[in-house]
Amino acid sequence: MWTRAEMKLRAKNTVRKYFWPALAVSMLNSLFNSNGGSSSSGGAQVGANVSEELDLELESIINGGLGSVISELPQMASDTIHSIDATMATVFVIGALIGLAIALALGIFVAPIIEIGKNRFYMMSRQMGRAASMNCLVWGFRREYLNIIWTMLVRNILVALGTFFFVIPGIYLAYCYHMVPYILAENPDMRTSDVLRMSKDMMQGNKLATWVLKLSFIGWWILGALACGIGTYLVFPYYDATFAELYAALRNPYSKYLNGFGSDEYEEYREYQNQSVNWQQTYQQPVEEEQVIDAEPIVSVESPVAEKTEDTKHSESTSVKGYYLNGVFHPYTEEELKELEKNGY
């Protein structure tokens, strides 16, 4: 069973190796996945006109008394309405509708891809021990884009419906499907129903602990907010790396159903392996020449790529007995020889 201290300690130890790229990725994700609004010049003009009329009303109350103001309210309301430029109001409404449409389109077709790309970046980085490519943010645009968008949309609709009917079901469903963006980050082609079901299975018995894990960052958010709000952005890498560690812990029982970070489909990790441990020369090249052990010719056996296997070949040498493992000859120890003789080999 995982613990908060374990997840946060692992996150600290890994994210410090690639903090600045992680900060950039988390900030871009926050930009696309945060709700915000902007005021237009038309809206500002309307606000100014209304404010001017309210000032006139206040002056009338002071100079003319409450009774005269009440008698003049219909005329004042009419003057206020007509003072608003009809053209400006139309521009304001159209601008608001266009802004709403753009925000909705970004929220459906772009923001989920960026979130999944952010998760992939953190999972790849923790696997390699260094910063992954920033291209991870747009990775989903090239891999089963429609399936990713549809799955994320279904998840968001389910959570929204639960929140609409009653807040508690919405919160419950949000934690049930908390791992959907992580599963899609390595399995973009997985069926929607399978992704939702696997996320629910992963979060079974972990919802409350996950909520408490999120709650444990409140101190960091408050501390960051004290620095004019800028400090909150510095918390993002630590926060995102922690939940990447959580997913890594929860996915272990389901690893055989997942593509996995580091599989053949994971090109960048393969490239890193080739550079760091000379992967191809060590495992992929079959041994074509004979090896000589005490003047006895022994032909090497081709081994699987980059995997350890239990399949071994016994040496036919009479002077030195041993076995091959991944193309390397290992002589038997005295205890192993006694065990072989005991078993009739």
Q: For the chain, what are the domain ranges?
A: 4-34+119-272, 41-101, 286-342
E strand or H helix at 331, and its extent?
A: strand 328-331
pLDDT at 269: 39
The residues that bridge with 298 in the sheet, in sequence order, are 291
Helices (H), the chain: 4-15, 19-32, 41-83, 86-109, 111-128, 145-165, 167-176, 180-186, 192-203, 207-215, 218-226, 231-250, 267-277, 279, 334-342
pLDDT value of position 331: 78
Give the residue ranges of the chain where pLDDT is below 70: 34-86, 261-320, 322-328, 330, 339-340, 343-345
- The string of DSSP letters for 27-95 reads HHHHHHTS------HHHHHHHHHHHHHHHHHHHHHHHHHHHHHHHHHHHHHHHHHHHS-HHHHHHHHHH
Distance CA 199, CA 181 (A): 9
Q: Please tell me the predicted confidence (pLDDT) of residue 299.
A: 42
Looking at residue 76, its pLDDT comes to 60
| C-alpha 63, offset from chain centre | 63
pLDDT of 233 reads 86
What pLDDT does 258 receive? Answer: 85
Say how far apart CA 184 and CA 152 lie, in whole Å.
9
CA distance 182 to 143: 14
Distance (Å) of CA 3 to CA 6, 10, 240, 250 = 5, 11, 16, 12
Please state, in angstroms and rounded to a whole number, the distance separating the CA atoms of residues 341 and 318. Answer: 14
Long-range contacts of 100-108 (CB under 8 A, 24+ apart): 103/35, 106/32, 108/149, 108/153
Q: In the beta sheet, which residues pair with residue 330?
A: 323
Q: Which residues of 302-318 are buried (b: 16+ CB within 10 A; e: fewer)?
A: ebeebeeeeeeeebebe
pLDDT of residue 38: 37
State the Cα–Cα distance between residues 15 and 17, nearest whole angstrom: 5
CA distance 173 to 149: 18
Amino acid identity at 168: I
